Structures are given as C-alpha cells and as structure tokens.
Amino acid sequence: MTLTADVIIIGGGVQGASLAFHLAQRQVQVVVLEKKFVAAGATGRSSGLVRMHYDTEVDSRLAWESFRYFRNWRELVGGHCGFTRTGFLQLVPPELVEALKANVRMHQAIGIPALLVSADDVKRLAPHFATQDIQAAAYEPESGYAMPSDAANALMSAARQKGARLLQDCQVSSVIVDHNQVKGVRSDQGVFWAPIVVNAAGAWAGQINTSVGLDIPYNTWRHDTMFVVRPPEIGLSHPTVIDFGNEMYFRPEGGLTLVGLEDGNPLGEPPDSDTERARSGFVERAIDRLCLRVPAMQAGALQSAHGGYDGLTPDQHPILGAAGPDGFYLDCGHSGTGFKTAPAVGLCMAELILDGKASTVDISPLAPSRFGEGRLVRGNYNNIWT
C-alpha cells in the first residue's frame, strides 16, 4: 500500500488520537499508523485520573485546558469519555506542605478551582480515610476520572469523520529521510509519504527516535494497577486521591477501587512484555498501602490486576516539539501522566506544527532541546514523582 498525506502520526493512543483530531479540524490530511489497535498501549492501561494538580505551571495549564474537553466532551469532541466527577485530593507528608501551598496558589492564579483543606476537611469528605498523618491537602471539587480507551476512540472517530485515515495492525519500521528532510515512513503495510511525521508511539517511541539518529534520553517504565471490590460500608464512591506519603494513588469505579503505586516500577523492560498480570508482590504491597489510608478496605477483595508500559524521560515530563530531521516531531515521553493532558497537548502540537508556535499553552519548556541544554523541568515537589 502507498498513501500520501500532509502529516503521519505514529501511534494510536490518546495522544496520537488527540493530535489527529485537532489537525483534522483544520482540514489537514492525516494518517495515523497504529501497530495494534487504538489505545492498545499505555492508554488502555491508564488509570484515567482527571485532575489539574501538578507542580509545574505548564503541566497545570495543559491539564486545565484539557479539563474543558473532559467536562464538555460530547459538545467539543462527540461520543463519550466516561468523565465522572468525584473530587480530587492531593495528600502530602508534613515536609511537603509548603510546596503544596505554593502549588495551590499557582493553580488558583491560573483559574483552577483548587482549595487548601485541613485534615478535618478530608475526614468530612472521606470519613473512612485515616488522616492522622495529614496537616493539609489540596482539593479539587470538580475533578475525577474518565475512561481512557473510550476517550481515545472518541477522538479517533471524530478525527476520521473529519477526514483522517487510521491504519491498525500497521507497524512502522523506519522513517524515510532524504537530505535531512522527512519524506514518510516504511511499515509492514507499505510506504506512506508525508513531509511531517509525528512520533506518538509511547513506550515504543525511543525506537523511532533512534531510527532517525536522535540521541534523546528515553526509557520504558512499567506500571501495575489493581482493582479491589470496595466494602459496602465505605459507600458508593470516594474522592480520587494521590497520596504522596504512601507513594500511591487510588480512585473509585462503580463498586471497585483502582489502586496504583509509584515505587518499585521497573525501567528498561521491553514494552512488548506481558501485561496481562501484575508483577509478583505488587498486589500485596498495594493492599497494604491502601489499608493504611483506608483501614475499612481490609474487608475488600481483589478483583483483578495488570500492568502497562509507557515512555519515561529523565525529568518525568513529555517531549513535545521538533527534533532531528526537518519535519520530525515528538509527542511522547509522557511518563505515565499523559492521559489527563491529551486534549490540550494535541491542540498545542497542532498549533506548533501548523502555525510555528503553540498559542493555547506555551509548551516550549517541554521542547526536546532541553535535555542537551541541561534545562530539565523541575517542580515544587522536585519530581519526587509526578
């Protein structure tokens, strides 16, 4: 098969789908090449948190702009993304309270509905939570979670309705470059021609970067999650939570609670490794952490556990922008937090590609050149984890 387009996007996760949607909105001829199916990689394993609490302004602005889409999905995209408002709590140990306060001030200056609350407030919001180690928390009453696979498929469907092409089961082998200019890509379904290629391949993006001679630090990062059946006494729902002290996050989904941990996650494994089950020991550690914060969960039951892979950068922030041969762009390295910013990232990347600069949010701090220039992105929490 041979096909010509204005832009080729490698990767059909939520980032690739969002970019295809925003480019197609501007009448650009887009082809998306996905090695398996839409949301088969990190997107399909994403925990789907929708919150604006980041410790850098660029991330918070991207999340805030994206929240406009999650809240008004049917009108702005079409279809559904499964957004569910639960409220969001950011819990930190005492030594990070001042950083938390700085974050809340920054969010409020942007316009994000964020509040600083006390341990007593947390107890009122979530009576079953243990709060003896909490001095203060950040609370976003409008935040919650969404369904990543649904969101990615809705974005891709909307892009296709506007003229984008999607080829699934299409594995890219190399980017075609001539005299430092991108010409297209080679794949197991043939050659595709375009003057612009965007690498949105998630955990596989490092391989694509290497194929065009880019020497950018990039790694794979495995992340396991589990679902537990919530005891009836906890109720129908609870807030979505990031718990720095216990290096954990959790959120409700119907009668279940999803739990993920932020330590013990292996780096450098092949992204095609088995993800159908969690690594040995994960479930036990996750249950212990969850019961520390929500003691009533001791009466819960394990429903399932699995893994996933994403691309990781040295500062745990995405790589967004042009690098390497002319016409080659990166939209990768989202380091496990890319779902909640995907609508805005796609919009900003479309602006960068077509207009030469992103105008909705200034994404220049996330440019690929930052690694060679030694200006890694650092936040108020000093990247304990993001």
Domains identified in the chain, total number: 2
Phi and psi torsions of 193, nearest 5°: -110, 135
For residue 355 the two structure tokens come to 């207009």
Question: Tokens in use for 203?
Answer: 């955990």
Q: What is the CATH number of the domain that holds 159?
A: 3.50.50.60
* Nearest in space to 144 (alpha carbons), one of 104, 84, 70: 84
Q: Are residues 40 and 13 in the same domain?
A: yes
Dihedral angle over CA of 358, 361, 366, 367, nearest 10: 10
Say which residues have a Cβ less than 8 Å from residue 381's Cβ, sequence separation at least 6: 55, 96, 99, 103, 244
Which range marks the domain in which residue 284 is found? 85-143+219-310
Q: How confident is the model at residue 380 (pLDDT cuts 50, 70, 90)?
A: confident
Residue with tokens 């480019």: 23
Q: Convert the pLDDT of each residue in 209-264 to its tens digit.
A: 999 999 999 999 999 999 999 999 999 999 999 999 999 999 999 999 999 999 98
- Which tokens belong to 79? 């279809």
How far apart are alpha carbons 52 and 68 in whole angstroms?
11
Cα pseudo-dihedral 39, 45, 46, 48, rounded to 10: 90
Does the pLDDT of residue 383 top 50, yes or no?
no
pLDDT at 304 over 50: yes
Q: What is the pTM of this model?
A: 0.95
Which of 263, 283, 310 corresponds to the end of one domain? 310
Is residue 383 in a domain?
A: no
pLDDT, tens only, 31-65: 999 999 999 999 999 999 999 999 999 999 999 99
> Do 225 and 137 fall into the same domain?
yes
Query: Do 133 and 223 fall into the same domain?
Result: yes
Q: Write out the two tokens for 264.
A: 């013990």
pLDDT of 275 over the 70 cut: yes
* Share of the chain residues as helix, strand and coil, in percent rounded to the nearest 5: 35, 25, 40
User: 174 and 302 share a domain?
Assistant: no
Output the average pLDDT for the chain.
95
Tell me which of 261, 277, 310 is where a domain ends. Answer: 310
Based on the domain organization, do 281 and 228 belong to the same domain? yes
pLDDT of residue 379: 81
277-299 average pLDDT score: 97
Residue 80 has pLDDT above 90, yes or no: yes
Question: Which CATH number belongs to the domain containing residue 291 in this structure?
Answer: 3.30.9.10
Q: Are residues 240 and 319 in the same domain?
A: no
Residue 67 token pair: 């929240």
User: Does the residue 51 lie in any domain?
Assistant: no
Same domain for 224 and 298: yes
CB atoms within 10 A of CB 190: 12
| pLDDT tens-digit map of 170-208 | 999 999 999 999 999 999 999 999 999 999 999 999 999
Mean pLDDT of 324-336: 96
Cα–Cα distance for residue pair 350/366, rounded to 1 Å: 15
* 137, 246: one domain: yes
328 within a domain of the structure (yes/no): yes
Angle at 170 between CA 166 and CA 173, to 5 degrees: 130
pLDDT of residue 386: 40
Say yes or no: 288 and 329 in one domain: no
Other CB atoms within a 10 A radius of the CB of residue 169 amount to 12
In this predicted structure, what is the pLDDT of residue 1?
65
Residues 305 and 282: their CA atoms lie apart, in Å, by: 9
Give the pLDDT score at 385: 40
Place of tokens 């925003």: 22
Residues with Cβ within 8 Å of 280's Cβ and at least 6 positions away in sequence, in order, are: none
Separation between Cα atoms, residue 161 and residue 149, nearest integer Å = 18
Residue 110 lies in a domain: yes
Band (pLDDT 50/70/90 cuts) for residue 323 is very high
